[in-house]
Chain A
Amino acid sequence: MTAPTTTKTQAALNAFVKETGGWVAGQLEACTRCGLCAEACHFYQALGNPEYAPVWKMEPLRRAYQQRFTISGRIKSALGLAKPVTDEDLGRWSVLVYEACTVCNKCALVCPMGIQIGTLIHDVRTAMSAAGVVPADLHAAALKQVEIGSPLGVTAEAWRERLDWIAEEWEVEIPVDKPGAETLAVFTSIEVMKFPENLAAVATILNKAGENWTVASQGREAVNFGVFESDPELTKVFLGRVFDAAKALGVKRIMIAECGHSYEAFRWTAPNIMDVPPGIEITHIVRVMYELMKAGRIKLKAGAYADAPVTFHDSCKIQRRGGLIKEPRALLKVLAGDSFREMDPCREQSQCCGGGGGVISIKEADPLRFAVFGMKIDQMKANGAQTVCMVCSNCRLQFTEGVAQYNSGVKVRGLTDMVAKALE
């Protein structure tokens, strides 16, 4: 190849090549460049920049495929006619895929071909990560998680102290490293540090239901910045910490608390990238609450929140990509009755809050994610909700900040917290 290559572009190209199996190639070949995916992207909708079109975000992947996997591309590359990927390109696309994409995968629903564009953009992130072109804030958080065990820098001691404080403050028992427990609850640092009532709520509900559960000091962090960065090795390391703890404690299931991407990582990604301990079920707090209610192990006060309109925000990784759609609605039907109102769009078609995929942790992306959140504000205005709830603390953080930014009076709550407060 005559095109000038640097260590970075070479690393990115190698990562692209490594990612590209039949699964990726078959979908890249199907793209007709109709541009409809742009209309699904909340970043494009809110800001109108054509570069935010999902198809453009996966352009480097397509270009690498074109140059390395096709005859014409190989010939062109050999003759030096191919457009090389430059360091500048990497920098440009790093901004597009990390700051202007939440990997919400709504584009896949809109694509007439059904291409999993979100997943392919995730592959672009992998290459960016291999080349080391990752937003500084994101990578700093990932490094913190490697060293301290939490992207927010919550040390083991701080975590333990915080848990003690929560147990005291909310008067709940939180079993730590309890041998013989059946359920291992894994929380995010956001919950531990910013939404402690949520942690207390989980404990309250599980205790009330008589669940034999525990938290693990070795596997205490649900958040996975390896996923955000899309570095497979880091992802495995962070997943491994929880799986090792689960194995050591001999639990039957791992329950992810209010967190989206980690549910996705544990439930769908982990089995495909690493050896997971067999016989351990992955579940999510919203599903657990639903099952407990169905089984009659917890009883909710019907109409506890029926006095003002309540709406539910479907999170990309839990609802659209996780399938836990009917569970929160069943709970809310009981809690809010007729006051429960759907947002438009909702369920699989729901619009992402704008903070997912690590975007919320990148300072430079703040204007973008707040611009996107404006659409969420409009949707809540349209259905007149005074309370919005969700089962993802990442979304909740984005909502909390967004609502403040827009001076909206809507109350943002975790569904778990609402359930815990409505227990009979």
Chain B
Amino acid sequence: MPDKTIYQQLREDGLSRRDFVKFCGLLSGMIGLEFSAAGKALGAAAGRAPADVVAQALKTKPRLPVIWLELQDCAGCTEAISRSTSPSLSNLVLNRIAIDYQETLMAAAGAQAEEAKRATMAKYRGQYVLVVEGSPTVFQGGAFCTIGGRSNLEILKEAAEGAAAVIATGNCAAFGGLPRAHPNPTGAHAVMDIITDKPVINIPGCPAIPDVTTGVIVHFLVLGTLPKTDGLKRPLAFYGHTIHDHCLRRPFHEAGRFAADFGGRSAREGWCLYKLGCKGPTTYNACSSLKWERGLSFPVQSGHPCLGCSEPKFWDGGGFYQGQSAPLNRPGKVDVGLAVGAGAILGGALAVANRAGKKRGVAKSEAVPPKGKAE
């Protein structure tokens, strides 16, 4: 029996046709189909608007199998997707139409769950998408993270082998995240460090924005490719601008109005959080444009400075609540003491040498030449 199309499945879940059309419009806009060259080409060829391209794909294409691996993670990215208060796009796509294996969400557990994964991997070899949440660890052969008695490295490599594409969601999978923070006791790495022979896309964030993960999956579903990325393999459509670029507190930044404390009047009135340690100016993510919970809010809007969670090594980027201009490594008392000591010894030695030179100079100058005329 051929797999049901996504449209069929959504209809079975009770989605009206009208809602489906709206859904397609949203999806096409979100993944930037209007702006991507591939999307335009596809639309032109089909003689349809981008939303119709998406609708056509969802109507005709079978569901896209997804295997969601959790390595050294906190399940925060999963939580972010599943905690949506109303059936969001992510909810629909990920929960109902795609995911075959997801430890946290699936009903099955233990050997049964592992069996389901093996089955999907075998059946859809070369077709499924592998989503990784959490960082792989390499110390002790990956012994710090095992599932069902097998090391995370083994599991990851095995799952990636048959995948069409790998999506590293959350900062841990994308860049190593919290487990990789100094001193990195488990040898945590980014997925892209381990998987080098498959297309890997990073959706960093702590957690990753659910709609971005969904958008990337839909993009792959509709166009069969991963979206265009930046140097850190992040989809440009979502990571092309900084939090600062679209921040609604930006005018206060330009005016030099900086909130002095958390929850104070200035913070509540929308003043810039730079002094409270906001990393917005150097953080590439879609928080300030997409926002969270269907556009309700995002950290900076709610009064908390951006931590820079979509950037590599954000845990080691200085204090979260320290202004961004502050030095990352402050010289300690010992360092300063050593520097002063070295300078003093060098200066003192030179001064002593110079004083000796002065005495010698005096002795020599006793051979005074006869005073004569000016030259």
In the complex, chain A residues whose CB is within 8 Å of the CB of B354: 17, 20, 68-69
From A4-12, A284-292, A328-336, the one touching the partner chain is A4-12
Instruction: Looking at the assembled complex, report how far the CB atom of B6 sits from the nearest CB atom of chain A, in whole angstroms.
Output: 74
Option from A8, A13, A95, A136 in Cβ contact (under 8 Å) with B369: A8
* Contact assessment for B365 and A14 in the assembled complex, using a CB-CB cutoff below 8 Å: yes
A59–B280 Cα distance when bound, in Å, is: 52
The A-contacting residues of B in range 347-375, CB under 8 angstroms, are: 350, 354, 357-358, 361-362, 364-365, 367-375
The A-contacting residues of B in range 180-213, CB under 8 angstroms, are: none
A299–B99 Cα distance when bound, in Å, is: 116
The B-contacting residues of A in range 1-51, CB under 8 angstroms, are: 7-8, 10-11, 13-15, 17-18, 20
Instruction: Looking at the assembled complex, report how far the CB atom of B348 sits from the nearest CB atom of chain A, in whole angstroms.
Output: 13
* Contact assessment for A13 and B361 in the assembled complex, using a CB-CB cutoff below 8 Å: yes
In the complex, chain B residues whose CB is within 8 Å of the CB of A202: none
A10–B365 Cα distance when bound, in Å, is: 8
Which A residue's beta carbon lies closest to that of B363?
A14
A70–B346 Cα distance when bound, in Å, is: 11
In the complex, chain A residues whose CB is within 8 Å of the CB of B358: 17-18, 20
From A113-121, A127-135, A241-249, A274-282, the one touching the partner chain is A127-135
* Contact assessment for A91 and B350 in the assembled complex, using a CB-CB cutoff below 8 Å: no
* Contact assessment for A17 and B374 in the assembled complex, using a CB-CB cutoff below 8 Å: no
Known: A20-B358, A68-B357. Contact between A91 and B374, CB under 8 A?
yes
In the complex, chain A residues whose CB is within 8 Å of the CB of B346: 71
* Contact assessment for A11 and B371 in the assembled complex, using a CB-CB cutoff below 8 Å: no
Option from B362, B367, B375 in Cβ contact (under 8 Å) with A94: B375
The A-contacting residues of B in range 252-303, CB under 8 angstroms, are: none
Option from A15, A88, A135 in Cβ contact (under 8 Å) with B374: A135
User: Does chain B have a CB within 8 A of A341?
Assistant: no
User: Does chain B have a CB within 8 A of A87?
Assistant: yes
* Contact assessment for A136 and B374 in the assembled complex, using a CB-CB cutoff below 8 Å: yes
* Contact assessment for A17 and B375 in the assembled complex, using a CB-CB cutoff below 8 Å: no
A133–B370 Cα distance when bound, in Å, is: 9
* Contact assessment for B369 and A132 in the assembled complex, using a CB-CB cutoff below 8 Å: yes
In the complex, chain B residues whose CB is within 8 Å of the CB of A88: 375
Known: A71-B350, A133-B375. Contact between A14 and B369, CB under 8 A?
no
A11–B373 Cα distance when bound, in Å, is: 16
Instruction: Looking at the assembled complex, report how far the CB atom of A415 sits from the nearest CB atom of chain B, in whole angstroms.
Output: 35
In the complex, chain B residues whose CB is within 8 Å of the CB of A91: 374-375
A139–B372 Cα distance when bound, in Å, is: 8
* Contact assessment for B365 and A11 in the assembled complex, using a CB-CB cutoff below 8 Å: yes
A95–B375 Cα distance when bound, in Å, is: 9
User: Does chain B have a CB within 8 A of A90?
Assistant: yes
The B-contacting residues of A in range 65-95, CB under 8 angstroms, are: 68-71, 87-88, 90-92, 94-95
In the complex, chain B residues whose CB is within 8 Å of the CB of A98: 374
Which B residue's beta carbon lies closest to that of A92?
B375
* Contact assessment for B362 and A18 in the assembled complex, using a CB-CB cutoff below 8 Å: yes
In the complex, chain A residues whose CB is within 8 Å of the CB of B367: 7, 11
In the complex, chain B residues whose CB is within 8 Å of the CB of A7: 367, 369
In the complex, chain B residues whose CB is within 8 Å of the CB of A71: 346, 350
A278–B337 Cα distance when bound, in Å, is: 47
A411–B362 Cα distance when bound, in Å, is: 49
* Contact assessment for A94 and B350 in the assembled complex, using a CB-CB cutoff below 8 Å: no
In the complex, chain B residues whose CB is within 8 Å of the CB of A10: 364
A93–B267 Cα distance when bound, in Å, is: 67
Which B residue's beta carbon lies closest to that of A98?
B374
Option from B350, B365, B371 in Cβ contact (under 8 Å) with A18: B365
Instruction: Looking at the assembled complex, report how far the CB atom of A226 sits from the nearest CB atom of chain B, in whole angstroms.
Output: 12
In this complex, the member of A7, A17, A70, A92 whose beta carbon has the largest number of chain B beta carbons within 10 angstroms is A17
The A-contacting residues of B in range 206-229, CB under 8 angstroms, are: none
Instruction: Looking at the assembled complex, report how far the CB atom of B350 sits from the nearest CB atom of chain A, in whole angstroms.
Output: 6
In the complex, chain A residues whose CB is within 8 Å of the CB of B370: 132
* Contact assessment for B368 and A11 in the assembled complex, using a CB-CB cutoff below 8 Å: yes
Instruction: Looking at the assembled complex, report how far the CB atom of A102 sits from the nearest CB atom of chain B, in whole angstroms.
Output: 17
A139–B373 Cα distance when bound, in Å, is: 8
Option from A11, A87, A364 in Cβ contact (under 8 Å) with B375: A87
A94–B367 Cα distance when bound, in Å, is: 20
Known: A14-B361, A17-B361, A18-B362. Contact between A134 and B371, CB under 8 A?
yes
Q: A88-B375, A139-B372 are in contact. List 7 more A-B contacts (CB 8 A).
A: A11-B367, A11-B368, A15-B361, A71-B350, A91-B375, A132-B368, A133-B374
A-B contact pairs, 10 of them (CB 8 A): A11-B368, A14-B364, A15-B365, A20-B354, A70-B350, A91-B375, A94-B374, A129-B371, A134-B374, A139-B371
Q: What is the interface of chain B, defined by CB distance below 8 A to chain A?
A: 346, 350, 354, 357-358, 361-362, 364-365, 367-375
Q: What is the interface of chain A, defined by CB distance below 8 A to chain B?
A: 7-8, 10-11, 13-15, 17-18, 20, 68-71, 87-88, 90-92, 94-95, 98, 129-136, 139, 364
